Amino acid sequence: MAGIYLDTSAIGRVLLAEPDARAIREVLAEHDAWWSSELLVVELRRFAVREGLADAAEKLLDAVRLAGVDSATLQRASRLEPREVRSLDAIHLEAAIRLHERGDITAVLTYDHQLQAGSEHHGLAVQAPTTAR
C-alpha cells in the first residue's frame, strides 16, 4: 500500500505512548512509507525535549520521509483553502496535497481538527484511530 502522511498530533501520541498509540502503529504498519513535512522535525523535537523524550523522537523521525519546505511551499500554503486552517497546519496540508498528487500518499493521519477539515476539503482521506483495531 502507498504511504500515509502524519503530523505531530499523531506521531506525538506514539511518542507519549498514549492509549491510542497501538492503533496508530497498526495504521502506520499498513503503509509502505510514512511521510510528513520538514516542519514535523521542528515540532516533534521541541515537543520531545519538553517531555524528556528526545532519543525516542529521533528514532521516530528516522522512519519518516520528509517533504521539503521552501519558499514556493510557503507561498502555496499561504493561499490554501479553507481559510480556517491555521498557519502551521497549512504547511502540513500543502505537503499532503503535493504528496497525494504525486501518488506518494493515500491518506492523512491526524488528530488536529483543522488539518482534518482542510484535508477533507481537498479530497484527502483522513484517519484518526482511537482504539486498537
Write the CB contacts of 49 (distance below 8 Å, at least 6 apart in sequence): none
- Is the pLDDT score of 133 beyond 50? no
3-127: CATH class = alpha beta
Q: Residues 39-49: what's their mean pLDDT?
A: 98
Residue 81 corresponds to which cell in the numbers above? Answer: 483553502
Count of CB atoms situated within 10 Å of the CB of 92: 30
Percent of the chain scoring above 70 in pLDDT: 98
Q: How far is the C-alpha of 81 from the C-alpha of 85, rounded, in Å?
A: 7
pLDDT of residue 84: 93
Q: How many C-beta atoms surround the C-beta of residue 123 within 10 A? A: 8
Phi, psi of 38 (to 5 degrees): -55, -20
**pLDDT mean across residues, the chain:** 96
Higher-scoring residue by pLDDT: 113, 133? 113
> pLDDT band at 130, cuts 50/70/90?
confident
- DSSP 3-state of 113: helix
4 φ, ψ (degrees, to nearest 5): -130, 145
> Tell me, what's the pLDDT at 28?
97
Q: Using the predicted structure, report yes or no on whether residue 81 has a pLDDT greater than 70.
A: yes
Q: What is the mean pLDDT of residues 33-54?
A: 98
Half-sphere exposure of 102 (CA within 13 A, CB side): 13
pLDDT at 78 over 70: yes
Task: Determine contact, residues 66/37, Cβ cutoff 8 Å.
Answer: yes
